[in-house]
Amino acid sequence: MSAQDGSPLRDILTLVITTSPTPSAPSTDLISSILDSFKLHCSGLLSCRVTVVFDTYDRISESMRLKKGQVTHALAQAHELYKANVKGLILKEWCARVNQDSSLVFRRENALAEYGSPHLAENHVVLSISQTHDKRITFIEPVARLGFGLAVRSALRITETPYVWVQQHDWPLVRDIPLDSLLEVMQASEAEGSSAPPVKYVCLPAIRMVSYATSPHVQPFPALRTLTAQLKRDFVPASRPDVAVPLTPLFFWHDKPHIAFTAHYLARIFPSRLAIARGDFIEDHVGQRARAQMKEGNWVKWACWLYYPEDGREICLKHRNGRKWKGVEAEQQVKEMFLGREMRKHDSLSPVS
């Protein structure tokens, strides 16, 4: 599998997986679900380089508030085991595909994730980076909580491929993704002399993005309606004319799984250390600013698209909600408890013969 210029995917695309403390820890159910969905719907991702960012927590308390970086003592212990389990899962998957013992040899270094005012010496988080010598596998572990924004930036800074696939740990695929064709469309838009509109970022659709082009996110705004009418189309890759890539302009920068041009990502989302604060999500801050600019007609600056199969009627993602999901076994126990309760309720209402 290769892209337009014949280069293997591992030289074109890096898969970035972000994960953080979750009630399902130490189980790897979340990440296993992601990898299983890749095997089923986008197997090319498993031949790419992979970077996993293990975000952490800020403090230990009696109650759990993951969005605020607060975990219980039990979850803090489970998170350490979870990291080890995920590393084992990634190594097993990626190393099995290359059959190369040397890929298990890691080199380690430290880096800084700085943020906020440069005049405050404490405005940084130390990162421990472990990377195989062939650079196919990278693990990033911060000593303090980063948040999604800084987690992505930390991965992008050491990414050497022109494109990245950014994947949160709780969004498995539910539909086939034409990865080669998508990348070819993105590469073609970068080619010198290309008349095609720029394709710098492609988000995959979830349930709330169904029929996006005709939704209230677009229709009430004249500039967005006009841009949609002008730009929405099926792109046809030169090497795969039988695999059309349907895209519609997207007027936001979402955090859910997406493919993006690495240099564009760094320039637009992380132009300085002031762009994203520690703990921030990209879509909550830069995403809103991007939308405001696009509503004024400045879409080209962001060049965001939504993959749009079946004219927007199909979704590609399912949300597990990693802050609440407790894993396959726990979910099954809940279902069994519910069914047992319903059966007892039914028996209690049944007439006595």
The per-residue pLDDT for range 225-244, each reduced to its tens digit, is: 999 999 999 999 999 888 89
Mean pLDDT across 115-124: 94
Q: What pLDDT digit, counting tens, does each position of 18-71 carry?
A: 999 999 999 999 999 999 999 999 999 999 999 999 999 999 998 889 888 899
Give the helix/strand (H/E) hosting 292. Answer: helix 282-295
End-to-end CA distance of the chain: 67
For domain 9-347, the CATH architecture is: Alpha-Beta Complex (3.90)
Q: How many helices and strands (H and E) does the chain possess? A: 8, 13
CB 151: neighbour CB atoms within 10 A? 25
User: Which two tokens mark 102?
Assistant: 């040397």
Closest to 24 in 3D by CA, of 33, 15, 14 = 33
Which contiguous run of DSSP H or E holds residue 334? helix 328-349
Q: Of 141, 169, 127, which Cα lies nearest the Cα of 80? A: 141
Mean per-residue pLDDT, 115-142: 95
Are 44 and 1 within 8 A, CB to CB? yes
Find out whether the peptide bond into 26 is cis, omega within 30 degrees of 0: yes
pLDDT at 196 over 80: yes
Q: What was the pLDDT predicted at 88?
A: 96
Tell me the mean pLDDT in the region 132-140: 95
pLDDT value of residue 139: 98
Work out the percent of the chain whose per-residue pLDDT is above 90: 78
306-347 per-position pLDDT tens digit:
999 999 999 999 999 756 756 655 554 434 444 545 555 556
User: E-strand spans in 178-326?
Assistant: 201-203, 233-235, 245-249, 258-261, 304-307
Q: How high is the pLDDT of residue 230? A: 96
- DSSP-assigned states of every residue in 140-186: EEESS---HHHHHHHHHHT--SSEEEEEETT--B-S---HHHHHHHH
Q: What are the CA-CA distances from residue 126 to residues 67, 129, 203, 329 (Å)?
A: 21, 10, 30, 35
Q: What is the pLDDT of residue 348?
A: 62
Confidence at residue 322, expressed as pLDDT on a 0 to 100 scale: 58
pLDDT for 333? 44
pLDDT band at 98 (very low <50, low <70, confident <90, very high): low
